[in-house]
Structure 1
Amino acid sequence: MLNRRNMLRTMAAGVGAACTSSLLPQHLLASPTSKTTPKRVIFFMQNQGFDPKTCIPEGMSSSSSLAKAKLPEPIKALEPYKERLHIINGLHGLHTSPSHSAFFGALGGYRGSDGVPPSASTIDYELSKVLPKTLLPHLCIGMDSIENMTTKPTIATLSASGAGQPIFMHSNPNHLYQMLYGGISTGDIRLQHEAKSNMLNQIEKLAAAKGQSLPTADRQRYNQYVRGFENVNGLRDRLDTVSDHLRKFAPKVDERYTKPEFETDWHDVLLDLGISALTSGITNTLTIGSGRGEIFGAWKGLGIEQQGHNLGHMEQPDNPIWIKIRQYNSRMLVRIMEALESVPEGSGTMMDNTVIVYTSNNADKQHTNGANWPVMLLGNFDGTLKTGCFTQLNHKRPINALYTSLLRAAGQNVDRFNMNDKLARKYDTATGPLKEIMT
């Protein structure tokens, strides 16, 4: 296994020569005997709904241990990891009006719809602010059909840093690889990286100069675009300072990037890039959008010819198509866990300090009212969350309560997330985290 502590301490020293301390992952600077523990969170959002019958063991209707239970076929890949698993049924998202998708509302816990901008930040972004600082605070990747990922390589539907401030997800692995690892590449990838870097630097300068001549109202809006270029260029510069470290984690580029046979080839390498960003320490918050928060999606590489909206009109339990999709997702979850388990951290491994949140951006099914929103958690987040069990709730608490729980587990003392008292009186019967999932 890689000795991550030594490599990352070296990386931190390199970054310190070029960056302010606010850009440093603080835990990388801690001494080997420090009691502070890094944490990370991964959100895996499947579109078209998450039917509880595809994850709850047969005959299990009340809260109990998973130790002697047999997991359903769609998630059977998680059987060896039952002690790390927590299946939660009975949360709701009635106030999000999910229908085809709650879009930003799925992770924001507020009303969302197609084409409607976010009304507040989402939980993944808020957690990225609470967790130790990293070079890239938050990474979003989106998986879809080859056509959609090619024509719209970036899209914003799930994550946001505030009201009207969407966070874009990356869907073309070639572009994402170049962003993360272009500085350490050779050949055409390196040439493209340098050309794009020069272009973006020039655009930033021109945009900044042009914005000064605009009226005040337009200048403020225009400056948001300028800051976008600043962020991209700043990230590239920061990554360049730790190039020796990144070489140890960069995935190998093969024909799945440049000549994918199916969209699942791109799904797989996008996951590789997401995992490498976590294990290298580039980020500690990863959001995966399978279907990219919309009503589309394709899995021809699994032998599934149907795609898009039609998949949402199929019953998921005992459906061979949805069994294949859910099993594919479960194998992805296993890949994440195995990768994090292979990297030492503190007295254990990276997985010991991680939680994976698996759910859907539109509750239990397509055309849902959000009355039931199943969730699976993997990992105990440094001992702050219960695992190895199934919890049946009474549909009285919203997904916001789960997000409050995650913030509490990350060390943020909050009682609600994106829910004021007026909304809570209608949609929540309690305050604070879900006591059923906290240790």
Structure 2
Amino acid sequence: MALPFLDAMLPHALAAPSTFKSWEKSNLSHPRMICCYVPNGVNIVEWVPQDAGTGYTLSPTLEALKEHRGEFSVLSGLGHPHSEGGHSGADTWLTAAHLKSKPGADYTNTLSADQLAAAKHGRETRYPSLQLGDMSGTGAAGHSHTLSFDINGTPLPTENSPRRLFERLFVAESAGDRAATMKRYAERRSILDDIAADAQTLDRRLGTGDRRKMDEYLSSVRETEKQVERLQSWIDRPKAEVPETGLQLSSQPGNAHDRPMWIDVMLELAYLAFITDTTRVITFEWSREAGGYGGGGENHHELSHHGGDAGMLSKLAVIDKFHLSRLGRFLGMLRSTEEGDGAMLDRTMVLYGSGMNSGKGGEHSPKNLPLLVAGGQKLGLTHGRHLAFDVEKHPPMSNVLLTLVQKMGVEVEAFADSTGTLTGL
């Protein structure tokens, strides 16, 4: 005979709400950037406001962020002109790459915008950037588990476990652990030295095309050498001391009951990484493309293929509002933390959206992407408006990416297919 349902069973059946409390004050004044990605597009009819400018009316979906109205901008009509759309949206969201641009290659990606910012700020933080997602690793080409790609277009792996992420960021290592880590770094350096020597010998016997390929390969080796040097320089520096209080580190991304709590705790860890200056650049893929859940375990991917069905669109809008409610909570934590002459949100830029538009009929288009940008007002961003662009002219989302990396202090005049910074942002 089965036991009756008891209150004591509740934490295992339903995720308990978070008890994490944001810190009162930050003693920093650095620019930061986090890019939050939701897959499968949104119910675009309920998402895009009907009017534009500063006096626009919040759409039914964006009502979930009404308390932050003056702290974010809605962007519509932008897209990735060179993207093929579909379920490769996460692969190209921060790169704007044409994945089949190289003859003879099935997949070729390029540098993501976050890594431009990481290259500048990473010298001053333990981690140049963090990659978070609901599935660890890199995934497959065209169905990426990550938003971040290095200078050679190589995907950077994500972490999906709150417990592992917390230990990586904030749990001190023993002397034995540090010695073992230094040994691993030394072995990596030795292997890289051998590779460089062999490559030099080989290079003298190669033709022009092969030498170009070898240069790309050696560039990747040099980047790896720099990473090892960075890691060695931080090994004896103590990590920030952060208590586990209120952090539900056992939350699981693939458990439908845990889903709201898992998103919350990953954003809490992002907040802690920022406030301790452990990193200044984070990407967070909330779910991979062709996957995902709503707040009650709904099949997000299935609903994105709605075919214009009103019932499915309504359910998709519920998922969209759920996601924005979690984003709103994160913005609230940043806003409530005093920093300098403002709040932590004023120096933290939050890019949120998707790399596809599931459209009015369920098509997976790279045009008119659902996007919003929040925070960063002390960095020069202005908010409280709907910036509406002509969908048919398809202005590049790269203009947004260029704007953000410039606000991060990166001295660059262009990014990917950008035509300039985004007017009005």
TM range (shorter): 0.7 to 0.9
**CA 83–275 in structure 1, closer or farther in 2 if over 3 Å, else same:** same
- Matched residue, 1:40: 32
Q: Residue 281 in 1 paired to residue 277 in 2?
A: yes
Partner of 1:206: 187
Contact 1:96 1:111 (8 Å CA) reproduced: yes
Aligned to 2:91: 104
Looking at structure 2, the residues matched to 207 and 63 of structure 1 have their Cα atoms a distance apart, in angstroms, of: 54
Aligned-pair distance for 1:387? 0.8
- Residues 2/242 of structure 1: CA separation in 2 closer, same or farther (3 Å cut): farther
1:376 counterpart residue number: 372
Select which of 331, 345, 354 maps to 1:337.
331
The answer to whether the Cα contact below 8 Å between 1:42 and 1:287 also exists between their aligned partners in 2 is: yes
Query: Which residue does the alignment assign to 1:406?
Result: 404
Does the 8 A contact of 1:44 with 1:290 survive in 2?
yes
Please give the alpha-carbon distance, in whole angstroms, between the structure 1 residues aligned to 2:55 and 2:235. Answer: 44
Map Cα deviations across residues 221-258 of structure 1 (whole Å, 9 max, x no partner): 69968975984795597376243x43268864554369
Residue 411 and residue 202 in structure 1: after superposition, are their counterparts in 2 closer, same or farther (change >3 A)?
A: closer
Instruction: Identify the range of structure 1 (317-326 vs 159-168) with the bigger mean alpha-carbon deviation.
Output: 317-326
Give the 3 Å change call, closer, same or farther, for CA 230–334 of structure 1 in structure 2.
same
Partner of 1:271, secondary structure, is: helix
The answer on 1:123 being equivalent to 2:113 is yes
- 2:290 pairs, out of 280, 286, 295, with 295
Matches within 5 A, 1:41-56: 41-56=33-48
Q: Is contact 1:142–1:288 with CA below 8 Å preserved after alignment? A: yes
380-389 or 41-50, which deviates more: 380-389
Q: Is the contact between residue 364 and residue 372 of structure 1 (CA under 8 Å) also seen in structure 2? A: no
1:306 matched to 2:295:
no
1:42 aligned partner, one-letter code: I
Counterpart of 1:19 in structure 2 is: none
Distance, in Å, in 1 between the alignment partners of 2:256 and 2:415 is 42
- Does structure 1 conserve the Cα–Cα contact (< 8 Å) formed by 2:304 and 2:358? no
Please tell me whether residue 63 in structure 1 is matched to residue 53 in structure 2: yes
Q: 2:193 and 2:412 mapped to 1: Cα distance?
A: 40
| Aligned equivalent of 2:154, options 165, 170, 190 | 165
Q: Post-superposition shift, 1:39?
A: 1.5
1:329 partner SS: helix
Match of 1:138 among 129, 142, 149: 129
**What is the identity percentage for the equivalent residue pairs of Structure 1 and Structure 2?**
20
Query: For 1:392 and 1:258, how far apart are their aligned partners in 2?
Result: 34
Bigger drift between 358-367 and 225-234 goes to: 225-234
Mapped to 2, the partners of 1:119 and 1:151 lie a distance apart of: 13
Change (3 A) 1:129 1:361: same
Greater helix fraction, Structure 1 or Structure 2: 1
1:139 is matched by which residue type in structure 2? L
1:357 match: secondary structure = strand
- Where in structure 1 are there 5+ consecutive unaligned residues? 6-27, 29-36, 185-189, 425-430
Matched, 1:89 2:76: yes
TM norm structure 2? 0.74
| Residues 1:358 and 2:381 aligned together | no
Per the alignment, residue 5 of structure 2 pairs with: none
Paired with 1:298 and 1:64, the residues of 2 have a C-alpha distance of 33
Distance apart, 1:101 and its partner CA = 2.3
CA contact 1:102–1:111 (8 Å) conserved in 2: no
